[in-house]
Structure 1
Amino acid sequence: MSSAPARDIEARLRIIEDKLAIYELIAAHPPSADTGSADYTVAVYQEGGVFDRGPQLDGATGGDNIAAFVQRPEHATAIRGGLAHFAGLPLIDLRGDIAVVTSYLMIVHLDHEGTPRDLPNHGVSTGYRIHRAVINRWELERRDGQWTIARRVLLPVDGSPEHQHLLRQGLEELFGLAPALKGEAQA
């Protein structure tokens, strides 16, 4: 058997392993945010990593500064109030040691003022309220065999050209319709 098919299988397996690692990285964000786990944030952001929360919210640079968001007393209050980050399945544009992930995220919380309702076989609840829906663009790099976050941009789903651009950009890059990623060699 020639080595070409073996290399093809190895390359395909590497892609599967990379995408699985990226899915796990992105999927860990909601539980870490909803438990106030700063350790996760420090571990996954690069030293100079950037978290851009759009025009309405403050951002930060560096894992420790980004982790400080989940250590704020206000965040702890939100957690105790029934905070839940609910993520959609991410779209992964994998290019060797660089990846761009586009995903949705909803911030949901318990509606403490709602009327308690019984749902058969599911208990009583006042229900939940979607506080906001956002688009994420995660720019990742593989360093020392681990996927890390170089930059995360978060914009509200508000119908603005900026949020639409972020979504469109993820699709266009994945299907080769946009220029190469920053830092990637031009062909």
Structure 2
Amino acid sequence: MTDAITQRLQIIEDKLAIYELIASHPPSADTALADYTASVYMPDGVFDRGGSLDGAQGAEAIAAFILRPEHEEAIRGGLAHFAGLPLIDLRGDRATVTSYLQIIALDKQGERRELANHGVSTGYRIHRVVVNRWLLERHAGRWKIRSRTLLPVDGSDAPRQLLARGLSSVLQSQN
């Protein structure tokens, strides 16, 4: 294979691996698989949930988030993390990923409705929508999370700026 084809294939493989890494977050959070969460963060990784929620530093501390009794209560109450397709800015062994995440919760107080062929439900509601900025690094051939910052989409400038940074970095890499 030529060097150009080898490089293009590496980019494709890296992006697929990154898609898989980002896509793994909702199932790992919604099943409280802390061992998995710890395995995808760098040992000194950072989880920054903005100014209104607590964060953590270090893979073990980050993984402990999903073992909290409050998180288990949310899971038992019908919690679902729903991720949007990530925007990836790949730069060799580093990548910046920008994405949306919806926190969806069972609406226990909603009106019961039947949907043909799908049963009866009180429905769900979107509890929160956040913008994520993931900084990833390749170590020993595997992509890991160096840091993750998430900001609620609340009408303020910060999440909008985070999204704009993601778009502008991808635009720069294409030029």
Aligned with residue 80 of structure 2, among 67, 78, 84 = 84
Structure 1 stretches of 4+ with a deviation exceeding 4 A read none
* Structure 2 segments unaligned to the other structure (5+ residues): none
Question: CA shift at 1:41, angstroms?
Answer: 1.2
Deviation, 1:106, is 0.2
d(CA) in 2 for partners of 1:128, 1:170? 30
Structure 1 equivalent of residue 89 of structure 2: 93
Residue of 162, 172, 176 corresponding to 2:172: 176
Deviation at 1:146, TM superposition (A): 0.4
Q: Secondary structure at the match of 2:9?
A: helix
Over the residues paired in the alignment, what is the CA RMSD in angstroms? 0.9
1:182 corresponds to = none
Query: Which residue matches 2:13?
Result: 17
1:142 alignment counterpart: 138
Could you say which residue in structure 2 is the equivalent of 1:63?
59
How far apart in 2 are the matches of 1:11 and 1:141?
18
> Residue 32 of structure 2 aligns to which amino acid in structure 1?
G
CA distance in 2, matches of 1:98, 1:174: 13
Deviation at 1:69, TM superposition (A): 0.7
- String of CA shifts for 1:25-44, please: whole Å, max 9, x gaps: 00000000000110111101
Q: How far apart, CA to CA, are the structure 1 residues paired with 2:39 and 2:163? A: 27
Match for 1:159 among 155, 159, 163? 155
Helix, strand or coil: the match of 1:176? helix
Displacement of 1:159 in angstroms is 1.5
For these two proteins, the number of residue pairs brought into alignment is 173
Structure 1 residue corresponding to 2:115, chosen from 119, 137, 149:
119
How big is each residue's C-alpha offset from its partner over 1:109-147, in whole Å with a ceiling of 9 and x where there is no partner?
100111110001111100001000000000000011000
Write the distance in 2 (CA, Å) between the matches of 1:159 and 1:40: 33
- 1:166 partner SS: helix
Q: Unmatched 5+ residue regions in structure 1?
A: 178-187
Aligned positions of 1:1-40 closer than 5 A: 6-40=2-36
Please tell me whether Structure 1 or Structure 2 has the larger radius of gyration of its CA atoms.
1
TM-score of the pair, normalised by structure 1:
0.91
Post-superposition offset of 1:176: 1.0
Distance in 2 (CA, whole Å) between partners of 1:106 and 1:137 is 14
